[in-house]
A and B are shown apart, each in its own frame.
Chain A
Amino acid sequence: MTSSPRLSLSVPEPAFRPGDTPDYSGVTFPEAGSVQRPPVDVNPEEIRDLAFTIIRVLDRNGEAVGPWAEALSPDELRKGLRDMLTLRAYDARMLMAQRQGKTSFYMQHLGEEAVSCAFQRALRPGDMNFPTYRQAGLLIAGGYPLVKMMCQVYSNDGDSARGRQLPVFYSSREHGFFSISGNLATQYVQAVGWSMASAITGDSKIAVGWIGEGATAENDFHAALVFASTYKAPVVLNVVNNQWAISTFQGIARGGSGTFAARGLGFGIPTLRVDGNDYLAVLAVAKWATERARLNLGPTLVEYVTYRAGGHSTSDDPSAYRPKEESNAWPLGDPVLRLKAHLIAVGEWSEERHTQAEAEVMDTVIAAQREAEEIGTLHTGRKPSPRDMFEDVYATMPPHLLRQRHEAGY
């Protein structure tokens, strides 16, 4: 009889904890331009390696290199930069507004701006995103008015959802931005279902599901992959790996699979892993994946490798679980600075123009804020009435609810 060892569990640990000096010098990333670009109708079996590498376009000198580098016009590049600057300025103002008590809660995108801002450029009117709370770049790059976003954050009388959602849980059908679920991951299966309906009705629109790497542990993530794989639904399934799920580092959700992208392999879903701080790489990958969906080639899973440079939300203090310097040490750099460097490298931008653009963007955001605050903030000005909360529970208000509204004095 052989003796069995005493059983034990393993608990993954992040590389660095508070007090450590984050050092990524041992971590090597593939060089920009070094990863193949397969045709969109590739057999997923042939690109299994793409789940373990990182597609990058912008190199250290700001040049766009390799097969994923696409010819973008200078205006398109500048639009990308401006969208990211706008999102960053918007975040900064709303974060400050939260500190001033104008709202109770806010969630920022710092460091992750490229993911949603670039992805939006691959979408067409009528496509539908099923986002999480960290993709406001889809709205900003899609031209949704900043004032309306702010009214939502302030829950004032200009909020189209009448105070029924947490701040930053925007919704705009017109802008292809489904509502946001407080319960994580539910949107992922809904995105698949929406895209299935598109296929069933013979439409040409596609859906995009978004999820954080932490929430991929939820059952809905895996079930969504099953459905997308079984029906070859016209959907792009995005995983934004910003390294942290509140205080939980990505290794806890990832376990032994190497990468989140690799989750797609077992489902036979073509899978890409991309530098999420590289606007050009994100856009190229977004175009590849959306084209597959549009050509009826089925789903694509994409992992965006990025870093949540700010707190999870205004209720979070990251210093309890990660070193303060980790964000600066993070090796993929800052998405805004990287696109800026590229624009300068191709002779279409300068430090002066950048400074000027930053100031213009901030003026625009501040002007929108002033307009929103004229309507009100969380505790001042015009607010939704309690009467409103009885609406939209049902398409037609049933008698019991009408009675409850009257009893409440409205």
Chain B
Amino acid sequence: MNGDGTAAPRLRLTYRDAVREAIRDALTRDERVFLMGEDVGRYGGCYAVSKGLLAEFGEDRIRDTPLSESAFVGAGIGAALNGMRPIVEVMTVNFSLLALDQIVNNAATIPHMSGGQFAVPLVIRMATGSGRQLAAQHSHSLEGWYAHIPGLKILAPATLEDARGMLWTAIEDPNPVLIFENVQLYDMEGELPADAGPVDITRAAIRREGKHASVVTFGGSVPKAVAAAETLAGEGVDVEVVDLRSLRPLDDATIMASVAKTHRVLVVDEGWRSGGLSAEVSARINEQVFYELDAPVARLAGVEVPIPYPKHLEDASVPQADTIAAALREMVGRR
């Protein structure tokens, strides 16, 4: 709402634009904020997220770094320790593995191991997921793996609103926050109010209400789950879609409320199945609302292979709208 009570005009934009708006907003709000990473300047980032920001904010705020993930993540930690609010962009989660020691052994532990003296108010953004035909080392989904680490907050914006709104809240958070942007979402188009702003980063969200079954998922699988739910609606099955939004900490209350309402649940995760986030979510459901279940918790996850290159193999390796729909049919007993 604007001050005069009229609704703000709505803007048409892509998920990529929404992330860019979020970065622009953060740079404008707080002069301690700066963006750094590989090719984020003139090139505009490998997924074109930061295009135009160098011209607008200059080299001190949009910093192209030497090609070394562990160095620019580590330098981001150092800058955060010294009062800055860095946004570090890593091209893909796959390359973040070169910075794993900085993230897992350091960013995540410094506040604790320094007896609370040092905070790491760092945000690391990275692309994740398959669907762009870039083969295994550019296509993995490892956010569930990061969600295993105490001390980190892990976010997976799946909507334009979250792409626009999560960043500032993450920057204000005193803990290191990792934001995972699924590569299949960057071109997703939609509308946002011109005055869209920060959003909460603690709650899961219901993306579609339903009463016969719940799908619990996140990131790039959310639109697929919604599409599957629409298909099932045509068959008389009403599916609820829960978007986790925050993978660590998990919002148990929203998940359990949905399961208690529908009594059937399918957990969908583009990441690998064994030991993955889907296992954690399903274990919690079994621990907390077992007696609400009318059917065993079901899981649909990526098959446990390095993601292949061509589209037909890529599609076959991670959950898709049709495989989600099929798993739901099986669960509600309509094949």
Contact = CB atoms under 8 A, between A and B. Distances in A.
B67 A404 contact: no
Given A219-B98, A408-B316, A105 B133 contact: yes
Given A164-B308, A183-B95, A390-B303, A214 B64 contact: no
Contacts of A164: 135-136, 306, 308-309
Contacts of B9: none
A400 B304 contact: yes
A218 B65 CA distance: 11
Contacts of B38: 246, 248
A170 to B, nearest CB: 13
A11 B71 contact: no
Contacts of A252: 64-66
A162 B313 CA distance: 10
B129 to A, nearest CB: 15
B43 A320 contact: yes
A163 interface: yes
Interface in A214-255: 214-215, 217-219, 245-248, 252-253, 255
Contacts of B261: none
B70 interface: yes
B273 interface: yes
A298 to B, nearest CB: 26
A404 B94 contact: no
Contacts of A30: none
A384 interface: yes
Interface string B114-151: 00000000000000000001111110000000000000
A144 B71 CA distance: 38
A404 B304 contact: yes
A186 B43 CA distance: 25
Contacts of A217: 66-68, 71
B138 A182 contact: yes
A150 to B, nearest CB: 15
Contact of A383 (B136, B305, B310): B310
Interface string A393-410: 100000011001100100
A410 to B, nearest CB: 8
B39 interface: yes
B39 A247 contact: yes
B313 A389 contact: yes
Nearest to B301: A404
B322 to A, nearest CB: 12
A9 B61 CA distance: 12
B312 interface: yes
Interface in A126-173: 155, 162-167, 169
A321 interface: yes
Interface string B295-335: 00000000111101110110011000000000000000000
A378 interface: yes
B64 A104 contact: no
Interface in A328-349: none
A219 B101 CA distance: 12
B207 interface: no
Interface size class of B (residues with CB under 8 A): 35 or more
Interface string A202-215: 00000000000011
Contacts of B42: 247, 320-321
Interface string B171-213: 0000000000000000000000000000000000000000000
A166 B67 contact: no
A11 B59 contact: yes
Nearest to B40: A247
B41 A247 contact: yes
Contact of B135 (A165, A184, A405, A408): A165
Interface size class of A (residues with CB under 8 A): 35 or more
Given A386-B316, A389-B317, A183 B68 contact: no
Contact of B39 (A155, A219, A248, A405): A248
A364 interface: no
B132 to A, nearest CB: 9
Contacts of B312: 383, 386
B130 to A, nearest CB: 12
Contacts of B65: 252
B28 interface: no
B256 interface: no
A379 to B, nearest CB: 8
Contacts of B316: 386, 389, 408
A155 B310 contact: yes
A317 to B, nearest CB: 9
A246 B98 contact: no
A181 interface: yes
Interface in B8-28: none
Contacts of A389: 303, 305, 308, 313, 316-317
B64 A248 contact: yes
B37 to A, nearest CB: 11
A218 B309 contact: no
Interface string A6-43: 00010100000000000000000000000000000000
26 contacts: A11-B59, A162-B308, A163-B308, A163-B313, A164-B136, A164-B306, A165-B135, A166-B135, A169-B135, A182-B138, A183-B137, A214-B67, A219-B71, A246-B43, A247-B64, A248-B38, A248-B64, A248-B67, A252-B66, A320-B42, A384-B310, A389-B317, A393-B305, A400-B274, A401-B303, A404-B304
Interface of B: 38-39, 41-44, 46, 59-60, 63-71, 94-95, 97-98, 133-138, 273-274, 303-306, 308-310, 312-313, 316-317
Interface of A: 9, 11, 104-105, 155, 162-167, 169, 181-184, 214-215, 217-219, 245-248, 252-253, 255, 320-321, 378, 383-384, 386, 388-390, 393, 400-401, 404-405, 408
Given A218-B98, A393-B305, A401-B304, 14 more contacts: A155-B310, A163-B313, A164-B309, A166-B134, A166-B135, A166-B138, A182-B137, A219-B68, A246-B43, A320-B43, A386-B312, A389-B303, A390-B303, A393-B304
Closest CB pairs A-B (n = 8): A182-B137, A247-B43, A217-B66, A386-B316, A166-B135, A217-B68, A321-B42, A217-B67
